[in-house]
Structure formats: C-alpha cells, structure tokens
Amino acid sequence: MSTPRLDIDLAKIRHNAATLVARLRRPGISVTGVTKACLGDPRLANVLLKAGVGGLGDSRIENIETMGRAGIRAPMTLMRAPMPSQVDRVVAQADTSFNTELSVIRALSQAACKAGRRHAVVLMVELGDLREGVMPDDLDAMVRETLLLPNIDFKGIGTNLACRSGVVPDAQNMGELSRLADGLDSRYGAVISLVSGGNSSNLQWALDGADTGRINDLRLGEAILLGLDPLHRRPITGLHTDAITLVAEAIESKDKPSRPWGAIAQSAFGATPEISDRGPINQTILAIGRQDVDPAGLTPLQDIEILGASSDHLILDTSKCKVSVGSEIGFQLNYSALLRAMTSPFVTKTFVQPDDHRPSTPVLPTRSKPIGNFQQCH
C-alpha cells in the first residue's frame, strides 16, 4: 500500500460517534458532527449521519461544497464566521452560519434576498477563551438588529472554549450562556431554538450529571475521531483511540553517532538544536516530514523515539526496535498532527468501510507492540 498514509477505520469512528450521541441524548443534547479534520470527506460524513448526529458542521465553505457535490443531504453549518467575499457561496450551500459581525450578517441577508433563499444565523458569544464572539453586553443590540434583516432567521447563540486559551467549559460559563438565552427569549419572544455550548472539550461537563440548562447542541470532531478528551488528552471510556493511524516508510536505517559534529547554527526551521550525546544509536529515517504532519503530535506504536524532523524527513532512534529499509512504522496522532496529515496531498487516505469487518471492542493500543503489518522489533 502507498505510504505515507492514514488508515481510517470508519467502523470505529461510527462506534465513537454513536456512543457519544447516545450518551448526550440523556441530558437532551444533540450532536453536530464536525467534518473539518477530514476536509469534508463524504465517507466520513455518511458515517457520522448513520451514527445519529443531527447535522454536519465545518469551518470552510469549500468542505461543505464538497459534501454537497457528493450528494450528502443533512443540515449544514458553517462554524467559522463567513468571509464577506464568500457570502453568496455560504447562502447557497450552508443552512446556518456562526457569526459575530453585524456587517457580515447584513451581507448574508443581501445574498439570501438575491438568491431567493433564507439563511439561519447563530451568534457566537465571547465567554473568556478570547477567540471569536460578541461580548455579552453587546449581544442584545446585535440580536435586535439581526431580527430585522430580511431572509435571515435568527436561530440562537453559541460559544467556543478551550481552543485558543484553554478555558474549561464549566457550570459558570455554561450557566451564563443559558442565562443569556433566557434573557433573549424574555425580551423578544421564543427566538432561541439552538444553544450550542461548544466542542469536544465540553464532554466532561455535559456528562457529569450536572444541570445542562439551555445547552442543546455540541459540536464534536476530535472526540469522535481520536476518542480523547481534548482538555487533558485522556482516553474517553468506551471509545476507540486507534480509529486513525499514520503509517510511514523507512528509507534509511544506519548506526550513527547521536551527537552532530561541526559548527552549529540554526536548523532549517530556525531553531538552534541542543542534542545530547547518548552514544552510538540505530537511526532510521522515514519518508515524511513537517510538510505532511506535526511531529510533536505523533506517538509511535513501537518502542522507538522521535528525534527530530525536517520538511521531508522524520528521524527516529530505533536502537530498541531496529527496522529495515522499506518497512512501515505506525503512529497515533493528536489533533494537530491529524489536521496537517489530512491536509497534505502527499499523505494517502485509506478508508476501511464499516462493512469491511465486524466492529471490535474498544481497545487502547499498546506502544510496545506493533499493530497491523508493522515490522516486528528485534
């Protein structure tokens, strides 16, 4: 098979999505399945819909257009505020968009009128993470103006936490979002149908048994794809953490000194390396690099150590697990590594369809054991 590649097990992703949909149904929260990490791939979109998500969300209109061309029929939400230059495309392809600027909503209104369509908007509220959002004190005036715009349906409010600054969703900030929704309903009638509490980082709060208030939607991507709690990168009980594996091929494996020699200046990426002398090692190079993946987000599935990376090479210490040229090495990925690998045109995406095998019981991979056809350590 081609390398480097991502092996994507859709049965495990479907299991993860269906498990979270069922757990969140108890507190009355629906799931918007987030497709941006997989660039709106229709195969992932179909699996999420079959798992019971209420709709699909993406940050880029290009990915929503990809799903539309593939015949995906589901409520589509553009989760990043639209660029003014793209409002015509947003109105044509997305049912709903998240917004923070009145000027953009006015442009959406004009585009919707021109297209003879209606478009729903959700106003994002800033609750401390300092990414996007209307300040709470400015929300009322913005809702009042939005309700007056033709061909625009004000759908509700939302927020985003734990992305830029790591602010944890909790009873206080989620309670504030619910109170804002109650206040808007009391002033303008029952105008709020959606209160989107956040992303995968909200799961700990949503599932701990506390009152979830008005929150009735979460946008889940990372937890479904990786089976991890984004706040602490810990496995979520009952979910697969190995649904996606990165596989790369060895192109060199030699015994070398561990410490470079010669005058040292900056590396290709502007750092001045500080490399300790650990004596001779078995060093292996894989045909993948920073152009394809975030090396800091990789965890080897064998007893090897990542030493560094350039744009096209990943350098490993394979002294404890010697490999031969041409062998495949597997890695788990964090969200940053997954995003970059999915975006790289040089990384093949291989999908295992849900019907290709029976769904298995969730098992956490053991780093010291090779998985699949990876070369045995010796």
Q: Rounded CA gap, 219 and 172, in Å?
A: 20
Three-state DSSP class for residue 320: coil
Phi-psi region of 279 (alpha: psi -120 to 50; beta: other; left: phi over 0): left
Q: Which of 95, 108, 121 minimizes the C-alpha distance to 194?
A: 121
DSSP string, 28-50: T-EEEEE-GGGTT-HHHHHHHHH
Q: Which residue reads 């997305």 in tokens?
A: 94
Closest to 67 measured CA to CA, from 34, 100, 98:
34
Look at residue 313 and give its three-state secondary structure. Answer: coil
Give the active site residue among 12, 36, 155, 349. Answer: 36
| 8 Å CB contact between 327 and 250 | yes
Question: Residue 350 pairs with which residues in a beta bridge?
Answer: 7
**Side chain identity at 350, as an amino acid letter?**
T
- CB-based contacts of 31: which residues, under 8 Å, 6+ apart? 17, 20, 21, 24, 52, 53, 54, 217, 218, 219, 220
Strands (E), the chain: 5-9, 30-34, 55-58, 76-78, 96-99, 119-124, 152-158, 194-196, 217-220, 228-229, 234-235, 244-256, 281-286, 298-300, 305-309, 314-317, 328-333, 348-352
Contacts of 65 (CB under 8 A, 6+ apart): 40, 89, 93
Torsion 255-257-262-265 (CA) sign:
positive
Q: To 5 degrees, how large is the angle CA 182–CA 29–CA 241?
A: 140
Q: Is 254 a residue of the active site?
A: no
Return the CA Rg of the chain.
23
Active-site positions read 36
